[in-house]
Structure 1
Amino acid sequence: MKFEEHAILIVDDNPTNLGVISDYLKDYGFRILTARTGKTALKRVKYAPPDIILLDVMMPGMDGFATCQRLKADEKTSDIPVIFMTALAGEEDKVKGFRVGAVDYVTKPLHHDEVLARITTHLRIQNLTRKLQEKNTRLHEISTELEKTNEALLKKAEEAKEKAQELIRINASKDKIFSVVAHKLQGPFQSLLSLSETLAEKPDGLNVDDIRDIGENINNSVKNIYNLLDNMLQ
């Protein structure tokens, strides 16, 4: 973890305590912000939100509990981890601290190594939480994209189904048309077949008038076939 990438707000009304813990954490590279009252702390976080807050409990005016409640009530600062610094060792005070939104506490007099360990732990938790939130956001985006893609695929599938049904209707119409055409062509072709058989079987027994009649019938049959095909192509 790169400590220089993280800012810590230390809130304590005692300037000596404030100076000692500030200098200790600065030596590790942390960027340090300070405040000596709860009201000042609330103003600072609006303009320069820290990554974590060390908050003294016993302060004149607005104490640490009230300050923490105000921080957690504001959505802009509610996610900032708060570690209480307190000389109160009672179980009731510790529970109250957690109820108002603190993530941890250290007791006074402070043990600097313990303070550093707790800060490091909660910064890691915060980083993991942010990464998880980013992944959840990305998963939500992917889920939304998949839903849109699925909707588009369903729409295309429905369109393909409609086109397939239309092709079925067209093919059915073609089959019906072909059936009608075949039926209408049957008569002219039967006439042609009959006339051609007459010419083939009795060529010597036909006189000029017979041949003329056969020719006219053939011509009429061919015209009927031509007209039928011409109407189909229009």
Structure 2
Amino acid sequence: MLHVEIIPVTHYQQNCSFIWCDETLEAALVDPGGEPEKLIARVQRSEFTLTKVLLTHGHMDHVGAVTPIARAFDTPVVGPHRAESFWLDMLDKQASMMGFAPCEPVVPSVWLNDGDVVTLGNRHLQVFHCPGHTPGHVVFVDLDAAIAFVGDVLFKGSVGRTDFPRGNQQQLIDSIHSKLWPLGDHIQFVPGHGPTSTFGAERASNPFVADKHFG
């Protein structure tokens, strides 16, 4: 079984997910956006072995703690899609713009593509390239556990902003409709910020992507 603990970090209250396979005790951090000491201490208090850092996209509030964590545990940085190098190359500028202290450069060990599979112990996370909020955004989905880590693609009652450079509203909506909805209404998702929800709940009531708005 895949287990999930959500750890909000930074003044943006970004949802960093500490996830693990209970059969192998292998663990990963999804989108460690800041407060590396807090996240490192949480891993060290656990019985799990951190084997990966997973990234949905390259915005500062999702990657700010990546490099110190990867160094502390000698783990690879997996994701996002290569198109996200646009944002990762701008971390200094992002820090200034978003009110963060400068962070170390983030260099993924592996870039991901749509259709890739990331393993965590005996768990398999399907990778979906979902551009729109950013060009190289990816979503991780454990279909057996019926849980998705969607970054800033989708929120409870909202969707990701598209007014940043290389954002695209239609592309974002298309990503949600074509990549996420077909996975099933039962899928629970952890967004980059705020409470969890399900795809079914958002299809029913989300004012940006609910079925009733798209005939």
Q: Same fold (TM over 0.5)?
A: no
Rg (Cα) greater in structure = 1
Structure number with higher relative contact order (C-alpha < 8 Å, ≥ 6 residues apart): 2
Q: Structure 1 length as normaliser, TM-score?
A: 0.26
Task: Say which structure is richer in helix.
Answer: 1
Task: Say which structure is richer in strand.
Answer: 2
